[in-house]
């Protein structure tokens, strides 16, 4: 069956265009239930034939749920709880979710991909019996609601013979009334969850309708924020220049003081937004539209306003919060206040609308004073302090306030009504007791948005089947890998290192030169591009080392075993082999995939001892001595050319043996052997960079173009778009930040000379750059603390060499 969809829409240029689309209706779409015998299942059905019947007093029979769009948009925290399974996601609902919130759509996709949850997609819009035409006078929303009801009805009729009930889950009262009128089983989320006596904690996870809530409690003072203007008004206002748009950044010291960084008449500058009313319900990270205040109302620095607000006399709680600032800081505030009087006033604005909310999950704790301890098991409104001090307090409605006191909990914001002083949120989950080591670690990870969950089954499925017993086979050699198993290869790493990713060797050649090799674990053999494991590793980005544990980027089978070049095991590697004169001049270089067997995994200290101990005369020891001599020469030459060294000291925690509590922090000592390894890794990167540059100059190499003319004094433009980085890093914000940072350095110092010279180091310390650049600096520091810097540093060197030529 064929239906045409015709509608009119406005395209980018603003022209009105009529779009006519074909819409095919089918009769071969399956209900995807294992219990169904009538459908022909083209793909294996997802819904279980015997959906687990929880002791749900409201719905004791086995059933599937069909939630509507708002349930997905607002109750995602509830749906993510593992007890809800066998849910039918209608196409119409999924599309609306995608349209309304990309974040929710992404979370929903994760749920749908999880085979244990039995979430199935039903293409109701293409099903002959469930497609509904929009009636005249019917709003799109009403039409969608009707489509959900029709689909539920179809499912009910379809699955009644199989003895399965299908229930529509909706918080929309009108929708439910209409469903009842046509005998479609439906329920509200609250009703459904209340029917689960075993899970009382779930009630807190439900998002409540906030309207009218506050008057009932009588707690909120007569307080009202100004209206937000409509998105249309915002976009036209921004276009005409009446409004400014930017990302709100709240001060770390005061959550009532924010700023955005935006262009005013072509000049980038920061605009202050001060006070509760002017912030107008915007929170940290939101993209807001602001209106500049008249010049008379412009303020000098934020700090002066803090005190003014104190004078206005806010609630004692707030005053108390402000007193948590250390006396030092207060002193500073006062002194800077005095200074500020002299400085010219800064543009100040008020928020008139919010373009995009950046609400996420917040970790924090419940304010003890707001809890009425005598009524612990009934609903009460409490206030929540987020660990992130830039956030306002969040109002929560909970039944377990008593239990949650003294715990770190996760909360998310649902809404912020005009009449409510604080945003309304709901409880997501409890992390554990305040002060507990594991809890606080979890808080840190969550607050820094560090993915730290277990690897999913999909990711683990990408691991080689043999698991721990994986061995190098002849087949690997047949694929063109070179057999380097006889070479005296060793690795030098910090003590206790389990993920050995690089190893070295040196060998004297018949002509008196040396063959030097750097071997990097060949992770690409196990992690194929585009696989779930690759995607997961890319999103994690790096292995995170905490005081007493680490969060792996790759499953530990790979990270610490198959891709770890441990001694006396055969491993796959990617090798870079040089022929070098005893004077450390490179004669030739080649790259190859290889099979190696490391002869020794040494710590820096062990390697140093071997160098110093004259009685040791084995091949590995001799090799390290030679490498050490070569490294010194390489290093000296590099320094001579003005290499950039950024000292990023590594720290180590000394742990108490039993409790694993950290008792001391010590700086890692730099030994000669550290420099040895560093030097050769750097050399490998330089060689790889040269190779890539010679082969793929278009796509991969640092292109260094300096346009520098006397006319526009001090303008140097550095085009660093072709950084020698894999594409994934090129897209990474830190790389973009790095590019803007380096171009900033070169513009501010006024010459390209200084950029490539070692005084970039001092430049790093000195630059007092605008905020975006400061962020870039922290990014740069972060990049430099991982392996990437070697690449960047080497590319800097290459630049120099190019200049020399």
Partner 1 sequence: MSRNELISPEGLRLDGRRANELRRHTAKLGPLSQADGSAFLQHGHTKALAAVYGPREPRHRAHAMHDRAYLNIEFNIAPFATGERKKRNKSDKRLLEMAHFVKQTFEPVIMTRLYPRSQIDLYIQILQDDGGALHAAINASTLALIHAGIPMKDYVCAVSVCCYKDASLLDLNRMEENTEHADLTVAVLPKSGDISLLQMESRLHADKLSDLMDLSIAGCRQIWKTLDGVVRENGEEEQQKASEVSMVLEK
Q: Shortest gap between Cβ of 112 and partner 1 (angstroms)?
A: 7
Distance CA 622, CA 504 (A): 13
What is the phi/psi pair of residue 720, to 5°?
-120, 30
Which residue of 4, 37, 40, 240 would you call a contact of partner 1, by CB under 8 A? 4
361 touches partner 1 by CB under 8 A? no
781 touches partner 1 by CB under 8 A? no
Residue with token string 């770190």: 408
Contact mark string toward partner 1, 83..122, x via CB under 8 A: --------x------x---x--xx--x--x--------xx
- Indicate the residue among 43 and 479 with the shorter CB distance to partner 1: 43
Which residue of 21, 239, 295, 342 would you call a contact of partner 1, by CB under 8 A? 21
509 touches partner 1 by CB under 8 A? no
SS (H, E, C) 257-312: EEEEEEEECCEEEEEEEECHHHHCCCCCCCEEEEEECCHHHCECCHHHHHHHHHHH
- Indicate the residue among 46 and 596 with the shorter CB distance to partner 1: 46
Q: Shortest gap between Cβ of 353 and partner 1 (angstroms)?
A: 25
Q: How wide is the angle at C-alpha 62 spanned by C-alphas 59 and 63, nearest 5°?
A: 75
Q: Shortest gap between Cβ of 316 and partner 1 (angstroms)?
A: 47
Stretch that binds partner 1, among 15-23, 246-254, 672-680, 681-689 (CB under 8 A): 15-23
- Indicate the residue among 98 and 633 with the shorter CB distance to partner 1: 98
- Indicate the residue among 29 and 73 with the shorter CB distance to partner 1: 29
Q: Shortest gap between Cβ of 105 and partner 1 (angstroms)?
A: 5
CA distances for 304 relative to 301, 659, 700, angstroms: 6, 47, 50
40 touches partner 1 by CB under 8 A? no
- Indicate the residue among 69 and 262 with the shorter CB distance to partner 1: 69
Subset of residues 456 to 495 that bind partner 1, contact rule: CB under 8 A: none
- Indicate the residue among 5 and 668 with the shorter CB distance to partner 1: 5
Distance CA 264, CA 180 (A): 56
Contact mark string toward partner 1, 117..156, x via CB under 8 A: ----xxx-xx------------------------------
Chain-centroid distance, C-alpha 729: 14
Which residue of 37, 43, 324, 615 would you call a contact of partner 1, by CB under 8 A? 43
Q: Shortest gap between Cβ of 172 and partner 1 (angstroms)?
A: 25
Q: Mutual orientation of helices 604-612 and 672-695 as an angle, nearest 10°?
A: 110
Q: Shortest gap between Cβ of 10 and partner 1 (angstroms)?
A: 11
- Indicate the residue among 97 and 611 with the shorter CB distance to partner 1: 97
Find out whether 420 and 220 touch, Cβ atoms under 8 Å: yes
Find out whether 407 and 433 touch, Cβ atoms under 8 Å: yes
Residue 526 burial (10 A CB sphere; 0-12, 13-18, 19+): buried
3-state secondary structure of 136: coil
Distance CA 67, CA 517 (A): 60
SS (H, E, C) 110-131: HHHHCHHHCEEEECHHHECCCC
Distance CA 44, CA 32 (A): 7
Structure tokens that stand for 346 in this block? 């800064």
- DSSP string over 603-632: EHHHHHHHHH-TT--SHHHHHHHHHHHHHH
- Indicate the residue among 22 and 296 with the shorter CB distance to partner 1: 22
- Indicate the residue among 1 and 639 with the shorter CB distance to partner 1: 1
Structure tokens that stand for 40 in this block? 């022909």
Handedness of CA 539, 542, 546, 548 (dihedral sign): positive
Q: Shortest gap between Cβ of 30 and partner 1 (angstroms)?
A: 9
- Indicate the residue among 123 and 358 with the shorter CB distance to partner 1: 123
26 touches partner 1 by CB under 8 A? yes
Q: Shortest gap between Cβ of 649 and partner 1 (angstroms)?
A: 42
658 touches partner 1 by CB under 8 A? no
Left if phi > 0, otherwise alpha if psi is -120 to 50, otherwise beta: which for 584? left
Percentages helix, strand, coil for the chain (3-state, rounded to 5) are 40, 25, 40
Stretch that binds partner 1, among 22-30, 535-543, 587-595, 670-678 (CB under 8 A): 22-30
- Indicate the residue among 112 and 609 with the shorter CB distance to partner 1: 112
- Indicate the residue among 31 and 724 with the shorter CB distance to partner 1: 31
Stretch that binds partner 1, among 20-28, 270-278, 576-584, 598-606 (CB under 8 A): 20-28
223 touches partner 1 by CB under 8 A? no
Q: Shortest gap between Cβ of 4 and partner 1 (angstroms)?
A: 8
Q: Shortest gap between Cβ of 92 and partner 1 (angstroms)?
A: 12
538 touches partner 1 by CB under 8 A? no
Which residue of 12, 14, 22, 374 would you call a contact of partner 1, by CB under 8 A? 22
Q: Shortest gap between Cβ of 49 and partner 1 (angstroms)?
A: 19
Structure tokens that stand for 300 in this block? 């000098």
Q: Shortest gap between Cβ of 131 and partner 1 (angstroms)?
A: 9
**Residue 269, Cβ neighbours under 10 Å: how many?**
14
What is the phi/psi pair of residue 520, to 5°?
-110, 135
37 touches partner 1 by CB under 8 A? no
In 367-446, at which residue ranges do the beta strands (DSSP E only) sit? 380-386, 394-398, 407-415, 424-433
Q: Shortest gap between Cβ of 332 and partner 1 (angstroms)?
A: 47
Structure tokens that stand for 195 in this block? 């029917």
Residue from 593, 384, 389 nearest 481 by CA = 593
Residues in the interface with partner 1 (CB under 8 A) total 29
Find out whether 468 and 561 touch, Cβ atoms under 8 Å: yes
Stretch that binds partner 1, among 12-20, 202-210, 295-303, 554-562 (CB under 8 A): 12-20
42 touches partner 1 by CB under 8 A? yes
Q: Shortest gap between Cβ of 150 and partner 1 (angstroms)?
A: 17
18 touches partner 1 by CB under 8 A? yes
Find out whether 33 and 45 touch, Cβ atoms under 8 Å: yes
Q: Shortest gap between Cβ of 23 and partner 1 (angstroms)?
A: 6
- Indicate the residue among 123 and 407 with the shorter CB distance to partner 1: 123
Distance CA 800, CA 175 (A): 70
Stretch that binds partner 1, among 11-19, 590-598, 675-683, 775-783 (CB under 8 A): 11-19
Residue 366 burial (10 A CB sphere; 0-12, 13-18, 19+): buried
Residue 214, C-beta contacts closer than 8 angstroms, at least 6 positions apart: 220, 417, 419, 420
- Indicate the residue among 5 and 801 with the shorter CB distance to partner 1: 5
764 touches partner 1 by CB under 8 A? no
Find out whether 380 and 351 touch, Cβ atoms under 8 Å: no
3-state secondary structure of 181: helix
Q: Where on the chain is the footprint of partner 1 (CB under 8 A)?
A: 2, 4, 11, 15, 17-26, 29, 42-43, 91, 98, 102, 105-106, 109, 112, 121-123, 125-126
């Amino acid at each position: 069956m064929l239906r045409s969809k015709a509608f009119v829409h406005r395209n980018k240029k603003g022209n009105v265009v009529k779009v006519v689309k074909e819409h095919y209706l089918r009769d071969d779409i399956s209900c995807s239930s294992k219990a169904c015998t009538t459908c022909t299942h083209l793909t294996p059905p997802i819904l279980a034939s015997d959906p687990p019947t929880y002791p749900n007093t409201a719905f004791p029979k086995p059933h599937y749920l069909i939630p509507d769009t708002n349930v997905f948009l607002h109750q995602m925290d509830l749906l993510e709880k593992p007890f809800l399974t066998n849910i039918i996601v209608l196409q119409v609902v999924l599309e609306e979710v995608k349209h309304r919130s990309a974040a929710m759509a992404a979370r929903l996709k994760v749920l749908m991909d999880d085979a244990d949850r039995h979430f199935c997609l039903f293409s109701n819009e293409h099903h002959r019996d469930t497609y509904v035409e929009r009636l005249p006078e019917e709003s799109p929303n009403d039409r969608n609601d009707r489509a959900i009801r029709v689909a539920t009805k179809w499912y009910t009729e379809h699955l009644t013979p199989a003895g399965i009930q299908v229930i529509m889950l909706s918080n929309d009262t009108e929708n439910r009334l209409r469903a009842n009128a046509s005998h479609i089983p439906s329920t509200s989320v609250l009703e459904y969850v209340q029917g689960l006596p075993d899970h009382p904690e779930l009630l807190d996870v439900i998002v409540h309708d906030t309207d009218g809530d506050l008057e009932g409690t009588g707690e909120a003072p007569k307080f009202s924020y100004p209206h937000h203007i409509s998105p249309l008004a915002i976009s036209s206002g921004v276009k005409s220049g009446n409004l400014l748009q930017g990302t709100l950044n709240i001060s770390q010291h005061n959550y009532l003081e924010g700023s955005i960084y935006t262009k005013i008449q072509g000049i980038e500058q920061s605009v202050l937004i001060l006070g509760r009313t002017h912030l107008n319900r915007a929170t940290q990270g939101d993209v807001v539209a602001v209106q500049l205040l008249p010049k008379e109302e412009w303020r000098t620095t934020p700090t002066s306003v803090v005190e003014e607000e104190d004078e206005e006399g806010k609630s004692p709680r707030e005053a108390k919060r402000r007193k948590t600032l250390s006396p030092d800081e207060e002193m500073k505030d006062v002194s800077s206040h005095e200074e500020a009087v002299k400085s010219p006033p800064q543009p100040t604005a008020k928020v008139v609308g919010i373009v995009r909310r950046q609400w996420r999950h917040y970790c924090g704790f419940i304010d003890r004073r707001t809890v009425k301890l005598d009524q612990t098991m009934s609903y009460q409104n409490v206030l929540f302090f987020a660990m992130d001090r830039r956030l306002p307090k969040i109002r929560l409605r909970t039944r377990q306030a008593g239990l949650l006191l003294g715990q770190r909990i996760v909360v998310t914001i649902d809404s912020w009504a005009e009449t409510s002083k604080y945003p309304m949120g709901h409880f997501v989950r409890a992390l554990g007791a305040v002060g507990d080591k594991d809890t606080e670690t979890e808080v840190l990870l969550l607050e820094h948005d560090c993915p730290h969950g277990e690897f999913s089954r999909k990711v683990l499925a990408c691991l080689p089947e043999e698991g721990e017993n994986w061995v190098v086979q002849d087949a690997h050699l047949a694929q063109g890998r070179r057999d380097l198993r006889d070479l005296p290869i060793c690795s030098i790493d910090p003590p206790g290192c389990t993920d050995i990713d690089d190893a070295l060797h040196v060998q004297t050649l018949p002509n008196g030169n040396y063959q030097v090799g750097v071997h990097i674990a060949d992770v690409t053999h196990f992690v194929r591009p585009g696989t779930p494991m690759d995607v997961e590793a890319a999103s994690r980005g790096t292995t995170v080392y905490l005081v007493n544990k680490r969060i792996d980027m790759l499953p530990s089978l790979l990270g610490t075993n198959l891709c770890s070049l441990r001694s006396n095991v055969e491993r796959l590697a990617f090798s870079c082999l040089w022929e070098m004169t005893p004077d450390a001049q490179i004669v030739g270089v080649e790259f190859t995939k290889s099979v190696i067997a490391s002869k020794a995994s040494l710590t820096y200290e062990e390697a140093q001892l071997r160098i110093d101990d004259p009685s040791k005369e084995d091949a590995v020891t001799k090799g390290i001595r030679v490498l050490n001599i070569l490294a010194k020469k390489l290093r000296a030459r590099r320094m001579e050319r003005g290499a950039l060294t950024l000292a990023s000291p590594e720290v180590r925690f000394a742990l108490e043996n039993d409790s694993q509590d950290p008792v001391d922090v010590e700086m890692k000592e730099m030994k000669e052997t550290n420099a040895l390894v560093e030097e050769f890794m750097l050399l490998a990167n330089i060689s790889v960079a040269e190779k890539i540059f010679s082969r793929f100059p278009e796509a991969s190499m640092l292109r260094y173009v300096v346009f520098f003319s006397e006319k526009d004094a001090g303008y140097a433009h550095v085009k660093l778009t072709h950084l020698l980085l894999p594409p994934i890093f090129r897209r990474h914000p830190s790389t973009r930040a790095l590019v803007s940072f380096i171009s900033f350095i070169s513009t501010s110092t006024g010459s390209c000379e200084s950029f490539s010279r070692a005084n970039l180091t001092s430049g790093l310390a000195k630059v007092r750059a605008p905020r975006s650049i400061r962020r870039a600096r922290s990014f740069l520091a972060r990049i430099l603390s991982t392996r990437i810097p070697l690449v960047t540093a080497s590319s800097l060197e290459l630049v120099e060499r190019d200049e020399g030529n």
